[in-house]
Amino acid sequence: MKNKRILVVGMGRSGKAAVTALVDAGAFVAVQDSKPADAIEPEFLRLMEEKCVAMFFGEKPSDMSIYDMLVLSPGVSPRLDFIEDARAQGTEIIGELELAYRICRGKFLAITGTNGKTTTTTLVGEIFKAAGKDVCVGGNIGRAIAVDALEASEDTWMITETSSFQLETIIEFRPVISAILNLSSDHMDRHKTMENYGRTKAAIFMNQTQDQYCVLNYDDRPASNLQKERAAKQKWSLSAEFRNWRLGLLHWQTE
């Protein structure tokens, strides 16, 4: 990222984390948000004035050709007109999750699904901590993952809750382990169809290789059907029917 001209779009939690990470990595950073400057926190505004080469609050940049890359916050639609203009000019467009992956030396474990992501991510983080691992828990849960990305070592596990909005803007992102918990209708105003929504969720494993792992919920048909294009080794959760059968068998063997 050093010396690249990068526009960060959206000044929510992810956008602020992206700005900090990019400046620390030596990039020339500009920021854009639909809110006017007087709606931005004064302290954050002063920080941006110190760190950024340009700010566009309540307005769009007039010249998108000057940027090497755009980094979008999850809440920003990648189909906004000025973003489409940048894409048409060949500008690389990524999200904060992709940025964190590129600047991080740690190993990613990524969890997605319509429901239960936060609980599962939190529990997995606690399991890894109890096992004595160096762990950062973040993403769509509480803390933007880019905050810790630069400080992570090769031994750090980045336990990451990933939303469909974050997965829309990945390119190289490749977790060592991925998981899709379930899939039901959600965010249709953005994804339009269940097919698009499922395809976006499936992006979590699109770059994985044969020596990596994906966990899919066998009890959830829409989630389990996403396995068709998999490259990673597959690990299935036991179905409820099989679990009950196994428990019955164990009970019978002990009598």
Q: Which residues are catalytic?
A: 117, 140, 187
What tokens were used for 50? 């110190």
**What is the Cα–Cα distance from 27 to 52, expressed in whole angstroms?**
9
Phi, psi dihedrals of residue 19, rounded to the nearest 5°: -60, -50
